[in-house]
């Protein structure tokens, strides 16, 4: 198969796409909005798929394996779920916020024909040259909408594109979802940065987060957001001297258990209940520890994600810990909110 490329033609190819908002009121930080369009609807974690029968027959399994990947909290939670829409109901779904179209450029079946008419003849040269392409488009039919058109020169090239670029498709929807959450997080008032004047760090913290625990001698602070019918969300920041970067998986596991036991009244986790991976957080490369916590004293438990990185100029290791208590439902959306806030941390 010829080289496959990702083409960003949200404005050049799709004339109906919107312009980027600017200013604090949008708080979308790089996302694309179009207030002139009707607001999109539907669950932000559902993606509606349009594909001809012969394409979907072979595209479904590899797509689901990637897009519906799970994250272990207290159970396996999905960030996204897929729902294929019958062709006859296509017009009923134009205003949903996540749409995904598959097109075999050599086919005249209904979905493929629709996509070709939508994108126009200007893409034919690119398809012929590269074998396939993914065309992201913002706000085609509604505000706050992401539409992906996955196009292959033939059915074979389309199915190969689906396999090779499935992770890229997931990442584009993930980024959009994070932007939507970020928008909601920062629509309301934030704590003044003077709250952190005595710290060596500052963070963009929504005002609804209140100080929960502090130990300034040992450089620990924790904040809590609590409201009716919402998860309890805990965010803590800790740092200590580390003359050389000895941050490791074992170090982080031991340190997180020690901090949680001390400041969260006996919270703990078992190693088999967590995953650990490399990550980027607050502009640094570090480690992410994620999984399930429990507290035997209070017979309760929940989910957490813990980020750690080493600051080379200060010779300090930082830990940003996110914890959720919500026995009524999913924890992943709250963890994503906390991660977005954590990512705003700045070292002075």
Q: Can you give the CATH number for the domain in which 276 is found?
A: 3.40.1000.10
206, 181: one domain: no
Q: Which of 151, 185, 219 is the last residue of a domain?
A: 185
pLDDT of residue 12: 34
229, 154: one domain: no
For residue 138, give Cα distances in angstroms to 19, 45, 110, 183.
Answer: 9, 17, 23, 16
329, 232: one domain: yes
Domains of the chain: total: 2
137, 24: one domain: yes
228, 96: one domain: no
Q: Which of 157, 185, 213 is the last residue of a domain?
A: 185
When comparing pLDDT for 7 and 32, which is higher?
Answer: 32
29, 176: one domain: yes
Query: In this structure, what CATH number is given to the domain that contains residue 108?
Result: 3.40.50
Q: Which of 87, 93, 111, 91 is nearest to 101 (CA)?
A: 111
CB-based burial label for 52 (10 Å; 0-12, 13-18, 19+) = buried
85, 226: one domain: no
For the stretch 61-66, contacts whose Cβ atoms lie closer than 8 Å and that sit 24 or more positions apart, written own/partner, are 62/162, 62/163, 62/166, 63/162, 63/166, 63/169, 65/166, 66/166, 66/167, 66/169, 66/170
Would you say residue 111 has pLDDT above 50?
A: yes
Range(s) of the domain holding residue 91: 5-185
Q: How confident is the model at residue 4 (pLDDT cuts 50, 70, 90)?
A: very low
277, 162: one domain: no
80, 12: one domain: yes
Q: Which of 138, 158, 185 is the last residue of a domain?
A: 185
pLDDT of residue 233: 98
Whole-angstrom distance, CA of residue 328 vs CA of residue 247? 35
pLDDT in tens, 129-185: 778 899 999 999 999 999 999 999 999 999 999 999 999 999 999 999 999 999 999
Rounded mean pLDDT of 270-291? Answer: 96
178, 41: one domain: yes
Q: What is the mean pLDDT of the chain?
A: 90
- Percentage of residues in the chain having pLDDT higher than 90: 81
232, 306: one domain: yes
58, 162: one domain: yes
């Amino acid at each position: 198969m010829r080289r496959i490329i990702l083409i960003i033609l949200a404005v050049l190819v799709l004339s109906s796409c919107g312009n980027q908002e600017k200013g604090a009121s949008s708080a979308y930080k790089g996302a694309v909005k179009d207030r002139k369009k009707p607001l999109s609807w539907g669950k932000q974690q559902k993606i509606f798929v349009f594909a001809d029968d012969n394409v979907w027959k072979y595209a479904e399994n590899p797509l689901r394996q990637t897009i519906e990947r799970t994250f272990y909290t207290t159970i396996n939670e999905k960030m996204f779920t897929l729902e294929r829409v019958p062709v006859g109901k296509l017009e009923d779904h134009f205003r949903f916020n996540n749409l995904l179209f598959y097109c075999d450029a050599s086919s005249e079946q209904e979905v493929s024909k629709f996509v070709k008419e939508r994108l126009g003849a200007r893409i034919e040269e690119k398809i012929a040259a590269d074998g396939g392409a993914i065309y992201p488009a913002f706000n085609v039919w509604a505000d706050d909408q992401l539409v992906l058109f996955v196009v292959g020169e033939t059915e074979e090239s389309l199915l190969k594109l689906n396999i090779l670029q499935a992770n890229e498709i997931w990442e584009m929807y993930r980024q959009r979802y994070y932007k939507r959450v970020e928008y909601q997080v920062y629509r309301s008032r934030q704590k003044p940065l003077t709250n952190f004047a005595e710290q060596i760090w500052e963070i963009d913290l929504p005002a609804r987060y209140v100080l929960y625990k502090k130990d300034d001698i040992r450089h620990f602070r924790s904040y809590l957001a609590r409201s009716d019918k919402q998860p309890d969300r805990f965010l803590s920041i800790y740092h200590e001297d580390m003359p050389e970067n000895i941050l490791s998986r074992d170090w982080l596991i031991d340190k997180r258990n020690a901090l949680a036991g001390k400041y969260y009244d006996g919270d703990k986790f078992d190693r088999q209940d967590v995953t650990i991976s490399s990550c980027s957080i607050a502009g640094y490369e570090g480690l992410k520890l994620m999984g399930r916590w429990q507290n035997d004293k209070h017979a309760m438990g929940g989910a957490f994600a813990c980020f750690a990185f080493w600051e080379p100029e200060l010779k300090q290791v930082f830990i940003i810990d996110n914890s959720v208590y919500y026995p009524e439902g999913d924890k992943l959306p709250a963890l994503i909110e906390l991660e977005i806030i954590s990512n705003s941390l700045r070292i002075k």
